[in-house]
């Protein structure tokens, strides 16, 4: 076919016009979303892996990939760097990043509450003789330096008028081992993680004394879904769709948590399925479907409580600037109330 400059120009113009009309929408349907978890593929990761496996994100015309993480701080910084579009992280870690990096150009924002209460807890063995938080004064407490419970311990100490403790630092895999060996008197960690880790080291559940922060005067929020400001600004429809699909999957996970672990096993064939079923159930009961979550509504936050947490984190973490609660939270993209009605029925007492 002979080349026609005039014909080529007409086709080019028509193509550009069509691109202008349909391009952004077409790109929005296929542009991938990279999601960073806070930790390894354990029980609670089913909340994100199930909607991927069952095609709930695809139903919303989203291409979502979920990667394991190595801590909330890492999830925040990876979203801030642009390496990931979204992530799952402790709200306190997000607040700290905001307050310590006031001039950062891409500070992630929380868009959905998942762990309405912090999972942080103090754990000790009953044989230690520690019967109450007051007994911790002068004792050796162990945790990694970045542990959420350790970072927030000053808030627990203030709420319960605790005397000073002596901190021992270690890498995460050694935390429960050092408690079992007697190298420390108590540890801080996520309740549903450290308790099961202790059992894996031969400790029976009834030999452990657990002090959840949420039950001892500390109303810190826990993990949230975070998104980059760029995604909030440029891809709000995709973000809304992500949260809808996530809520759909969360409802199913909480209705049938044991079944959901199969999707975690598919990503990490080495997990102990029975252990992860217990971990997921503990997480649901303690921090996802907690009394506070039922009172405030899944996915949402209470403004006065958020402001109090911002002030407490500013003080406990010694941040460079004060945390601005309005800067770390954006609930405008949450699904409708009916779609957020995902919590399982409350257990009868």
Q: What is the pLDDT of residue 17?
A: 47
Which alpha helices (H) appear in 124-272, and where do they start and end? 148-151, 153-160, 175-181, 191-200, 229-234, 236-255, 257-267
**Spatial contact of 152 and 220, defined as CB atoms under 8 Å apart:** yes
Q: What is the C-alpha separation between 90 and 86, in angstroms, rounded?
A: 13
Model confidence over 167-195: pLDDT tens digits? Answer: 999 999 999 999 999 999 999 999 999 99
CB-based contacts of 163, cutoff 8 Å, min separation 6:
136, 137, 138
Q: What is the pLDDT of residue 43?
A: 96
Q: What is the pLDDT of residue 349?
A: 62
∠ CA 77-78-84 to the nearest 5 degrees?
Answer: 145
∠ CA 311-141-139 to the nearest 5 degrees?
Answer: 110
Per-residue pLDDT of the chain (349 residues; tens, 9 = 90+): 444 545 544 554 444 444 444 444 444 456 799 999 999 999 999 999 999 999 999 999 999 999 999 999 999 999 999 999 999 999 999 999 999 999 999 999 999 999 999 999 999 999 999 999 999 999 999 999 989 999 999 999 999 999 999 999 999 999 999 999 999 999 999 999 999 999 999 999 999 999 999 999 999 999 999 999 999 999 999 999 999 999 999 999 999 999 999 999 999 999 999 999 999 999 999 999 999 999 999 999 999 999 999 999 999 999 999 999 999 999 999 999 999 999 999 877 6
Torsion angle of the four alpha carbons 167, 168, 173, 174, in this order, in degrees rounded to the nearest 10: -140
Length reported for the chain:
349
Q: What is the C-alpha separation between 36 and 127, in angstroms, rounded?
A: 39
Q: Name which of 111, 97, 88, 112 is nearest 35 in CA terms.
A: 88
Per-residue H/E/C for 30-84: HCEEEEECCCCCCHHHHHHHHHHHCCHHHHCCCEEEEECCCCHHHHHHHHHHCCC
DSSP helix/strand/coil, 12: helix
Pairing of strands 109-113, 86-90: unpaired
Residue with tokens 């950062």: 104
State pTM to two decimals. Answer: 0.89
For residue 7, count other CB atoms closer than 10 A to its CB: 11
Helices 303-317 and 91-100 sit at what angle, rounded to 10 degrees? Answer: 60
∠ CA 34-38-43 to the nearest 5 degrees?
Answer: 105
Q: What is the C-alpha separation between 176 and 155, in angstroms, rounded?
A: 23
**Domains plus CATH for the chain?**
29-117+221-328 (3.40.190.10), 120-215 (3.40.190.10)
Q: What is the C-alpha separation between 310 and 99, in angstroms, rounded?
A: 10
Rg of the chain over all Cα atoms, to the nearest angstrom: 23
Q: What is the C-alpha separation between 143 and 123, in angstroms, rounded?
A: 11
């Amino acid at each position: 076919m002979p080349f026609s400059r005039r014909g080529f120009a007409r086709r080019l113009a028509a193509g550009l016009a069509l691109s202008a009309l349909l391009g952004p929408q077409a790109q929005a349907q296929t542009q991938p979303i990279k999601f960073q978890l806070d930790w390894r593929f354990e029980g609670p990761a089913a909340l994100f892996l199930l909607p991927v496996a069952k095609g709930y994100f695809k139903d919303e015309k989203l291409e979502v990939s979920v990667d394991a993480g190595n801590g909330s701080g890492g999830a925040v910084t990876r979203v801030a760097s642009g390496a990931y579009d979204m992530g799952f992280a402790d709200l306190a870690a997000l607040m700290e990043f905001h307050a310590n990096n006031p001039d950062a150009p891409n500070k992630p924002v929380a868009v959905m509450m998942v762990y309405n209460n912090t999972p942080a807890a103090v754990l000790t063995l009953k044989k230690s003789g520690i019967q109450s938080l007051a007994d911790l004064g002068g004792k050796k407490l162990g945790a990694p330096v970045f542990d959420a419970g350790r970072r927030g311990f000053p808030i627990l100490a203030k709420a319960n008028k605790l005397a000073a403790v002596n901190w021992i630092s270690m890498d995460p895999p050694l935390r429960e081992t050092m408690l079992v060996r007697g190298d420390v008197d108590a540890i801080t960690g996520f309740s549903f993680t450290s308790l099961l880790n202790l059992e894996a080291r031969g400790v029976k559940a009834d030999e452990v004394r657990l002090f959840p922060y949420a039950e001892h005067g500390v109303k810190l929020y826990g993990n949230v879904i975070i998104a980059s400001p760029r995604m909030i600004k440029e891809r709000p429809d995709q973000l809304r769709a992500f949260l809808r699909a996530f809520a759909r999957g969360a409802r199913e996970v909480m209705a049938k948590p044991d079944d959901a672990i199969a999707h975690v096993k598919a990503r990490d064939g080495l997990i102990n399925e029975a252990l992860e079923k217990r971990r997921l159930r503990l997480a649901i009961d303690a921090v996802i479907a907690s009394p506070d979550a039922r009172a405030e509504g899944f996915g949402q936050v209470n403004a006065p409580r958020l402001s109090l947490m911002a002030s407490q984190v500013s003080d406990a973490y010694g941040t460079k600037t004060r945390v601005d609660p309005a800067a770390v939270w954006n609930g405008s993209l949450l699904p409708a109330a009916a779609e957020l009605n995902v919590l399982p029925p409350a257990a009868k007492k």
